[in-house]
Amino acid sequence: MPEMDGYEVCRRLKHKEKTREIPIIFLTAKSDVQDEQMGLDLGAVDYITKPISPPIVLARIRNHLLQKAAADFLKDKNQYLEQEVMRRTSEIVTLQDVTIKIVASLAETRDNETGNHIKRTQLYLQELAHKLKSHTQFADDLTDKKIDIMVRSAPLHDIGKVGVPDKILLKPGRLTPEEFEIMKTHAAIGRDAIELAEKQLGKKVEFLECAKEIACYHHEKWDGSGYPEGIAGGQIPLSARLMALADVYDALVSWRVYKPGMPHQQAVDIIVEGRGKHFDPDIVDIFLEVKDQFARIAQQYLDEAKKDFSSPL
């Protein structure tokens, strides 16, 4: 071929998506080993030198076509199986999410003040985590998978409230110091409930591990003055540090039977005041970058029954 040799034809066919899977057989007078190696390296499946035997050529073509057909069948089968695995995995994840939300909602129904608290805190945590991911020191801990697990686990943060007596949980007013001590036990109750679920499963499940961290430690404070264990700083799991700020912000701007919802800026000021005391300083700094998104989430999911009482904006 005067303008293009067989090697270039092969190279171009292999470069294009529509033709790269076509089996290429070199039929040539060249019999040098280096020539054969070049053709095979470019993606050819066979190399036939002249003079040829037509029956042999036809047989080798037939064999390569049969191999191509078998490869295509396996490829299609694998693609189907991959799609089926993805579909079933998606169904399992959806069922898992629904189960978590049902269980969390059942716990929240015992506390008639919280309304959309689960949804709001879940979205606050998501905003914080994605923004914090850009910080080099948190990049390894905040992969997309880890953030997804945190967000999916977040609704279980107050699951331990199922173990708090109604006379305390549903009290129409502020708790006494003695009642508050009982209320504080919900963190450990939630952790123990999730641990029991893990034992019954007989294996560790990543999203339950994360839910356990959040449930147990989201009331811990950066300076060590929180509960249930009084741990401080980096000892507090990152997931719980994120939830701590999300939970407090929502409590501040939301209506309660004993208080109106606080204006957004006032809540921001209180969180800034808690930087390095109640909250991880880095997370507070990130919060200031996404505080407007917090306000929008709070307004979008404002509890219907309380709209006459407060607005976070």
The chain-wide mean pLDDT, for the chain, equals 84
Per-residue pLDDT reduced to its tens digit, 33-54: 888 888 888 888 888 888 888 8
How many residues in total does the chain contain? 313
Pick the closest to residue 117 from 226, 109, 274 (CA basis): 109
- N- to C-terminal Cα separation, the chain: 75
Q: Tens digit of pLDDT for each residue in 200-253?
A: 778 777 888 999 999 999 999 999 999 999 999 999 999 999 999 999 999 999
Mean of pLDDT values over 77-103: 66
Count of domains observed in the chain: 2
| CATH code: domain of residue 166 | 1.10.3210.10
Rg (the chain; Cα; Å): 31
- Indicate if 133 and 215 belong to the same structural domain: yes
Residue found by looking up tokens 């939630």 in the block: 190
Helix (H) or strand (E) segment spanning residue 25: strand 25-28
Which residue did the predictor score with more confidence, 294 or 118? 294
The confidence score (pLDDT) of residue 229 equals 95
pLDDT given for residue 277 in this prediction: 97
H or E segment to which residue 168 belongs: helix 166-169
Q: Is residue 130 included in any domain, yes or no? A: yes
Within 89-182, strands assigned E span none
Report whether pLDDT(312) > 50: no
The alpha carbon dihedral of 288, 230, 159, 107 has a sign of negative
User: What pLDDT is attached to residue 105?
Assistant: 53
CATH number at residue 25: 3.40.50.2300
Does the pLDDT at position 109 exceed 70? no
In this prediction the pTM is 0.65
Do 117 and 12 reside in the same domain of the chain?
A: no
Instruction: Note the pLDDT of residue 310.
Output: 44
Give yes or no for residue 308 having a pLDDT over 50.
Answer: no
Q: Are residues 189 and 89 in the same domain?
A: yes
- What is the structure's pLDDT at 89? 63
**Both 117 and 15 in a single domain?**
no
Domain match, 17 and 114 both: no
Residue ending a domain, among 74, 106, 121, is: 74
For residue 155, give the DSSP letter. Answer: G
Residue scoring higher pLDDT (38 or 127): 127
What pLDDT shows up at residue 303? 76
In a domain, 120, yes or no: yes
Domain that holds residue 60: 6-74
Asked which of 74, 103, 119 is the last residue of a domain, the reply is 74
Q: Which two tokens stand for residue 145?
A: 């998978």
Count CB-CB contacts under 10 A for residue 302.
Answer: 22
Residues 140 and 63 occupy one common structural domain: no
Q: What per-residue confidence (pLDDT) applies to 103?
A: 57
Same domain, 115 and 55: no
Contacts of 305 (CB under 8 A, 6+ apart): 115
Distance CA 187, CA 161 (A): 8
102 pLDDT more than 70: no
Tens-digit pLDDT profile for residues 153-175: 898 898 888 888 888 887 877 88
The answer to whether residues 113 and 170 touch, using CB atoms and an 8 Å cutoff, is no
- Using pLDDT thresholds of 50, 70 and 90, give the confidence band for residue 112: very low
Specify the 3-state DSSP secondary structure of 46.
strand
Judgement on whether residues 240 and 266 belong to the same structural domain of the protein? yes
In 3D space, the residue among 147, 232, 230, 154 whose CA is nearest the CA of residue 188 turns out to be: 230
CA gap 74, 180 in Å, rounded: 63
